[in-house]
Amino acid sequence: MPKKLKKYTDWTAKERLALVRRQNLDRHTSYDSKLRLQANIRRHTRNQNEEMEYDRLKAATVQGNLHAAAAARLTHLEQIFLR
Protein backbone atom coordinates (compact mmCIF):
# COMPACT_ATOMS: atom_id res chain seq x y z
CA MET A 1 0.00 0.00 0.00
CA PRO A 2 1.47 3.40 -0.95
CA LYS A 3 2.41 5.82 1.76
CA LYS A 4 -0.15 8.54 2.36
CA LEU A 5 1.03 12.00 1.51
CA LYS A 6 0.64 14.66 4.13
CA LYS A 7 -1.73 17.37 3.01
CA TYR A 8 -0.69 20.89 3.70
CA THR A 9 -3.19 23.62 4.10
CA ASP A 10 -2.64 27.17 2.92
CA TRP A 11 -2.03 28.17 6.51
CA THR A 12 0.81 25.68 7.06
CA ALA A 13 2.38 26.66 3.74
CA LYS A 14 2.32 30.32 4.82
CA GLU A 15 3.92 29.38 8.14
CA ARG A 16 6.67 27.42 6.41
CA LEU A 17 7.37 30.27 4.00
CA ALA A 18 7.48 32.75 6.87
CA LEU A 19 9.96 30.48 8.68
CA VAL A 20 12.16 30.26 5.60
CA ARG A 21 12.09 34.04 5.22
CA ARG A 22 13.06 34.55 8.86
CA GLN A 23 15.91 32.05 8.52
CA ASN A 24 17.15 33.77 5.37
CA LEU A 25 17.02 37.14 7.10
CA ASP A 26 18.92 35.80 10.11
CA ARG A 27 21.51 34.21 7.85
CA HIS A 28 22.07 37.41 5.87
CA THR A 29 22.25 39.67 8.92
CA SER A 30 24.74 37.39 10.64
CA TYR A 31 26.85 37.31 7.46
CA ASP A 32 26.77 41.11 7.22
CA SER A 33 27.78 41.48 10.84
CA LYS A 34 30.67 39.05 10.32
CA LEU A 35 31.85 41.05 7.31
CA ARG A 36 31.63 44.30 9.29
CA LEU A 37 33.58 42.76 12.16
CA GLN A 38 36.30 41.50 9.81
CA ALA A 39 36.58 44.92 8.18
CA ASN A 40 36.84 46.61 11.58
CA ILE A 41 39.56 44.19 12.68
CA ARG A 42 41.50 44.80 9.46
CA ARG A 43 41.16 48.58 9.83
CA HIS A 44 42.25 48.51 13.47
CA THR A 45 45.25 46.31 12.67
CA ARG A 46 46.28 48.55 9.76
CA ASN A 47 46.04 51.66 11.97
CA GLN A 48 48.01 49.98 14.72
CA ASN A 49 50.75 48.92 12.28
CA GLU A 50 50.96 52.43 10.78
CA GLU A 51 51.26 54.00 14.23
CA MET A 52 54.00 51.55 15.19
CA GLU A 53 55.86 52.22 11.93
CA TYR A 54 55.54 55.97 12.49
CA ASP A 55 56.92 55.66 16.02
CA ARG A 56 59.89 53.62 14.80
CA LEU A 57 60.68 56.10 12.02
CA LYS A 58 60.46 59.01 14.49
CA ALA A 59 62.82 57.16 16.84
CA ALA A 60 65.23 56.56 13.94
CA THR A 61 65.37 60.29 13.17
CA VAL A 62 66.93 60.85 16.59
CA GLN A 63 69.87 58.63 15.64
CA GLY A 64 70.59 60.40 12.38
CA ASN A 65 69.38 61.15 8.89
CA LEU A 66 66.88 58.81 7.28
CA HIS A 67 67.13 57.25 3.86
CA ALA A 68 65.08 59.13 1.25
CA ALA A 69 62.45 56.35 1.03
CA ALA A 70 62.11 56.25 4.81
CA ALA A 71 61.74 60.02 4.97
CA ALA A 72 59.07 59.89 2.26
CA ARG A 73 57.21 57.20 4.17
CA LEU A 74 57.42 59.27 7.34
CA THR A 75 55.85 62.28 5.64
CA HIS A 76 53.18 60.02 4.13
CA LEU A 77 52.32 58.62 7.57
CA GLU A 78 52.21 62.14 9.02
CA GLN A 79 49.69 63.12 6.32
CA ILE A 80 47.56 60.08 7.19
CA PHE A 81 47.50 60.99 10.88
CA LEU A 82 46.68 64.65 10.24
CA ARG A 83 43.40 63.80 8.51
Mean pLDDT by 10 residues, the chain (83 residues): 68 86 91 94 96 93 89 92 79
Is 50 in contact with 42 (CB distance < 8 Å)? no
> Quick one: pLDDT at residue 37?
95
Phi, psi of 43 (to 5 degrees): -65, -45
Cα dihedral value 50, 52, 53, 57, nearest 10? 140
The pLDDT value recorded for residue 68 is 92
**pLDDT value for 14:** 85
Global confidence as pTM:
0.63
- Amino acid 1: pLDDT: 65
Domain positions in the chain are: 25-82
